[in-house]
A and B are shown apart, each in its own frame.
Chain A
């Protein structure tokens, strides 16, 4: 990777003798939206705490933009914004006041802070609730305020820990779009942790699947499904109108290079191949006088990944 902004090496955290995060290695490139996908208790939050220097790793190092997060947390926190799940605000203060407080903690003067805070409220669509007490905000509004709060310091990295928990679907959709938009506009690197695979699939460029403190796979969704399910092979499923049997078909298709295996499953046939032979199979069958009724190159979505790793985990 050319330019990793987050670099995690051999990161380990042990609680009561049990490793919660186990020799984790991660590289996140500048400007990408990276998903940490894993079931509850996989160690995602602990990893994030270590990224921010909010807890000490038992072993290993975390560097963000070349700064060691454990040794120099304050410098890291200058460029990293963190939005925890269910972010807390001072309920007795208004949204604007909360943001002004954060801005001033980041070294702005009162007047700068006011201007900046109001701009950000506009950006996340809360300008009409600016002077409402945060105690009266809805969950979705709080999360959006949280995003504004994170953007106060003009971060280069945003870390979101289960940010969509408890928001209704439409609010969630808006929120995710907002994140992607921000990341593209301002070239902000986003680390997005979730156990909600569809959200991750929706927004992330790359995903790491995290189970029991270990990353078991990493890459974009297509890469992941190939890697996880068929040892890098393609799988094709088809059915034909004519009555036939597996031996006849084997004979027909034997000339196509790359096919490793053909199996029958009731009326359906199933091919595993080294490369994508879908078009080839269709043409060959047609030439030999078969009429295709069904043809599908199997793509494993995150659902299967979820089934296989999370539920069994």
Chain B
């Protein structure tokens, strides 16, 4: 069998033609030049709207208040929390975010609890409110691609959330420095920053979910309720359902190690459908450097290991699946709202 000879010249020619058509296309798009500035314009307006809105102020007030509470309990319980022999004692500062005395939840638990509410609150009326006011059709009759509206809504909400969380986190660090008189190490600082980034991704899931509902449902009240229903389902009912399912198949204390591990794996899999569980696993691991695995470890696996904290990158490696999971959820919700928004018919009111 003879293969057709390919000369370098013909390949180059083809390449040149392809490039030429590509260049023509770009000229074409230049004619239909779309102002990318428009995206920035919308984002800026949305951010301004958020910051001035009452509900945002109320939410910020609640979050700041609870954070002060949790940091206060953390600081007053610091002495008890730091055991001399524990490897985590090197990471004194991270305790600020994780310690509680049982009466008041810790900072990460609070963010895990209030973050979804913040996200839902920012997104639940993003599209339908504009539509009900008749501004959506006016916005869409401007020469901007349709997805700019959706992108801008998300970006604005995400920007607001990131700014809020970052400043909160930094304030907690500052308070810790003043009250405890200890400076955070570089690694602690990186861990805290990573924690904050993960928190924003976690909240982005809820923002996108809320935006999706706001595209689907005409009434803001309906979309808000739908969002809250999903949130309640995952925080209250899903764990309940899980315990119903898992109770009967739970191995007895006499069961073999293999059986217990199998059960634990199933449990872990089912639990990880909850975005809040993904978040708490990721953040707890990051802020507690001594955690070596999220699932069960056998004695053989632990045997011989020095009870020392993991380096930052190793901790990050452990929770990488969780982070990717959160990211994928965000993307999924965004894609859903994108699909339903792009082909939506927009009437004036």
CB distance from B67 to the nearest CB of A (A): 29
Report if B141 contacts A (CB, 8 A): yes
Contact in complex: A91, B134 (CB < 8 Å): no
Q: Would you call A78 an interface residue if the criterion is a C-beta within 8 Å of the partner chain's C-beta atoms?
A: yes
Q: Contacts A74-B34, A86-B134 given; indicate if A54 touches B345 (C-beta within 8 A).
A: yes
Q: Is A234 an interface residue (CB 8 A)?
A: no
Classify chain A: how many residues form its interface, as a range.
20 to 34
Q: Which of A100-108, A248-256, A287-295 contacts B (4 or more CB under 8 A)?
A: A100-108
**Complex interface: chain A residues within 8 A of B41 (CB):** 101, 104-105
CB distance from B113 to the nearest CB of A (A): 31
Q: Which of A56, A72, A86, A91 contacts B349 (CB 8 A)?
A: A86
Residues of B264-315 contacting chain A, CB below 8 A: none
Binds A, one of B1-9, B12-20, B142-150: B142-150
CA distance A102 to B35 in the complex (A): 13
* Bound Cα distance A313, B85 (Å): 89
Alpha-carbon separation in the docked complex, A82 to B37 (Å): 22
Residue of B nearest to A67 (CB): B32
Contact of A55 among B136, B141, B143, B345 (CB under 8 A): B345
Asked if A87 meets B143 with Cβ closer than 8 Å, knowing A56-B343, A107-B38, A161-B348, the reply is no
Residue contact A89 to B145, C-beta cutoff 8 Å: no
A56 / chain B contacts, CB cutoff of 8 Å: 343
B262 sits at the interface (CB 8 A): no
A101 to B52, CA, bound (A): 17
How far, in angstroms, from A77 to B38 measured CA to CA in the complex? 14
A73 to B140, CA, bound (A): 10
Q: From B41, B133, B137, name the one whose CB has the most chain A CB atoms within 10 angstroms.
A: B41
B185 within 8 A of A: no
Contact B141 A106 (CB under 8 A): no
B348 & A87 in contact (Cβ 8 Å cutoff): yes
Which residues from 145 to 200 on chain A have a C-beta closer than 8 Å to any C-beta of chain B?
146, 149, 153, 161
- Evaluate contact between A102 and B142: CB separation under 8 angstroms: yes
Knowing A105-B38, A105-B41, the reply to whether A77 touches B141 (Cβ < 8 A) is yes
CB distance from B179 to the nearest CB of A (A): 40
CA distance A107 to B39 in the complex (A): 10
For B55, what are the chain A residues with a Cβ–Cβ distance below 8 Å? none
Most chain A Cβ neighbours within 10 Å, of B38, B138, B146, B345: B138
Given A54-B346, A161-B348, A105 and B137 contact (CB-CB distance below 8 Å): no
Q: How far is the CA of A214 from the CA of B136 in the complex (A)?
A: 28
Chain A min CB distance to B156 (Å)? 14
Q: 1/0 per residue A73-86: CB within 8 Å of B?
A: 11101101110111
Known: A74-B143, A78-B143. A88 touches B347 (CB 8 A): no
Residue A126, interface by CB 8 Å? no
Contact in complex: B142, A72 (CB < 8 Å): no
- Tell me, yes or no, whether A90 is within 8 Å of chain B by CB: yes
- Asked if A88 and B42 make an inter-chain contact with CB atoms under 8 angstroms apart, the answer reads no
Complex CA–CA separation, A149 to B135 (angstroms): 12
> In the assembled complex, which residues on chain B have CB atoms less than 8 Å from the CB atom of A72?
32
Q: How far is the CA of A78 from the CA of B33 in the complex (A)?
A: 10
Flag whether B86 is at the interface (Cβ < 8 A).
no
Contacts of A153 in B (CB 8 A): 142-143
**Which residues of chain B from 53 to 73 have any CB-CB distance to chain A below 8 Å in the complex?**
none
Task: Tell me if B32 and A74 are in contact (CB < 8 A).
Answer: yes
Q: A90-B135, A105-B38 are in contact. Are A45 and B347 (CB under 8 A)?
A: yes
Query: In the assembled complex, which residues on chain B have CB atoms less than 8 Å from the CB atom of A105?
Result: 35, 38, 41-42, 139, 142-144
Kindly state the separation between the CA atoms of A82 and B49 in the bound complex, as whole angstroms: 25
State whether B134 touches A101 (Cβ < 8 A): no
Closest-CB distance, B29 to chain A (whole angstroms): 10
Nearest A residue to B38 via CB reads A105
Q: CB of A24 within 8 A of chain B? A: no
A78–B144 CA distance with the chains assembled, in angstroms: 9
CA A82 to CA B137, docked complex, whole Å: 9
A52 touches B (CB below 8 Å): yes
| Chain A residues closer than 8 Å to B38, beta-carbon distance | 104-105, 107
A49 at the B interface (CB under 8 A) = yes
A149–B137 Cα distance when bound, in Å, is 13
A73's nearest neighbour on chain B, judged by CB, is B146
- Which of A54, A75, A78 is in CB contact (< 8 Å) with B137? A54
Cα–Cα distance between A89 and B139 once the two chains are bound (Å): 10
Q: Which residue of B lies closest to A102 (CB)?
A: B142
Instruction: Output the residue of A85, A90, A153, A161 with the most chain B CB within 10 A.
Output: A90
Chain A residue nearest to B132 (CB atoms) is: A88
The answer to whether A149 touches B138, judged by C-beta atoms less than 8 angstroms apart, is yes
Inside 8 A of B137's CB, which chain A residues have their CB?
Answer: 54, 82, 84, 88
Q: What's the nearest-Cβ distance from chain A to residue B182, in Å?
A: 46
Which B104-158 residues have C-beta < 8 A from chain A? 130, 133-146
Q: Which residues on B sit within 8 Å (CB–CB) of A106? A: 35, 142-143
Of all chain B residues, the one with the shortest Cβ separation from A104 is B41
| B34, B49, B133, B143: residue with the most chain A Cβ atoms closer than 10 Å | B143
Q: Which residue of A lies closest to B346 (CB)?
A: A54
**Pairwise interchain contact A88-B142, C-beta atoms closer than 8 A:** no
Contacts of A55 in B (CB 8 A): 345-346
Q: Which chain A positions have C-beta within 8 A of B141?
A: 52, 54, 77, 80-82
- Please report B residues at the A interface, Cβ cutoff 8 Å: 32, 34-35, 37-38, 41-42, 45, 49, 52, 130, 133-146, 343, 345-349
Pick 24 A–B contacts, CB within 8 A, sort by A: A49-B345, A49-B346, A52-B141, A54-B345, A74-B32, A74-B143, A74-B144, A82-B141, A84-B134, A84-B138, A86-B349, A87-B348, A88-B135, A88-B136, A88-B137, A90-B135, A91-B133, A104-B37, A105-B38, A105-B41, A106-B35, A107-B38, A149-B138, A153-B142
Interface residues of A (CB under 8 A from B): 45, 49, 52, 54-56, 72-75, 77-78, 80-82, 84-92, 101-102, 104-107, 146, 149, 153, 161
Q: Supply 11 further A-B pairs (C-beta < 8 A) apart from A77-B141, A80-B141, A102-B138.
A: A73-B146, A78-B143, A84-B137, A84-B348, A85-B349, A90-B133, A105-B41, A105-B139, A106-B35, A106-B142, A161-B348
The 3 closest A-B pairs by CB, nearest first: A88-B134, A84-B348, A107-B35
